[in-house]
Amino acid sequence: MKVCAVQIGAAVGDRAANKSKVAEQLALAAGHGIDVAVLPELWDLGFYPADALALGDPDGAEAKEFLSGQAKKYGINIVGGSIVCKNEGTIRNRGLVFDRDGALVSLYDKTHLFSPSGEHENFEAGDRLAVYELDGVPVGQIICYDIRFGELVRTLALKGIKVLFAPAAWPHPRLNHWRLLARARAVENQMFVVAVNAVGTVNNLTFCGHSMMVDPWGEIVAEAGGGEQLLMGTLDLSIIADIRERINVFRDRRPELYDVQREK
């Protein structure tokens, strides 16, 4: 699976400019014969304008039309990062995925909202997982802060995914956390992780870039720098079965002993 991480910065509140930039980058990426293009979190409006509710995309209709058209135009799968999606007076941080024919194959609302920045006060949390297939490969998606929650990612792994897509808007000074968590989620679940970050500065946040593709051994397949970049990498999915057989953590689990509920 040849993947392109589209590491870009968004113009805050300017959906038209951001769509234009994404279209330009997807055209370049498609020229490299990729299978999947992955966008960062909230590429449509940036993370996030004060008037996000007013600017939200009703039912994600504009993003759906745009991303579907791009996927069909270039014959590639697009993991559309996430957008500000508005429904009935609320907004959600929503990921949309389209296959090579432009069909919507997954919709995921960020389930863990970053309370230290007040994201939970502006957005409504999702309540369902994202497990789907691209070109017959079982994959899953999370968004940014979700990567800190090992229970969520392990649940996706137990559903059989081989690749985890993690679009984000992850800021300094937590670059080391970003790199560590992407590798940890890959190693503990013996799968590929494609973590795609934003860049640029919004208010007091400077996003750290360093989009990464990590293999099931925790080795970095490809890693971007701190600026806008198209990061290409090839995921050799054939190695997963051997790794899971040699160290079969799924077989050796003891779920009857695990209690992840908070003690009262």
Active-site entry in 110, 119, 162, 208? 110
| Residue 253 to residue 46: CA distance in whole angstroms | 40
Which one is catalytic: 21, 85, 119, 144? Answer: 144
Q: Please pick, among 41, 64, 85, 119, the residue that the annotation labels catalytic.
A: 41
Q: Phi/psi class of residue 83: alpha, beta or left (left: φ > 0; alpha: ψ in -120 to 50)?
A: beta
Dist CA 141 CA 39 (whole Å): 12
Q: Is 162 assigned a catalytic role?
A: no
- Residue 110 a catalytic site member: yes
Strands 163-167 and 83-87: unpaired
Query: How many CB atoms sit inside 10 A of residue 251's CB?
Result: 8
CB 8 within 8 A of CB 199: yes
Q: Is position 144 annotated as part of the catalytic site?
A: yes
Q: How far apart are CA 72 and CA 137, in angstroms?
A: 19
In angstroms, the CA 62 to CA 232 distance is 27
Q: Find residue 134's DSSP bridge partners.
A: 137
CA 3, 134, 235, 42 dihedral sign is: positive
Task: Catalogue the active-site residues.
Answer: 41, 110, 144
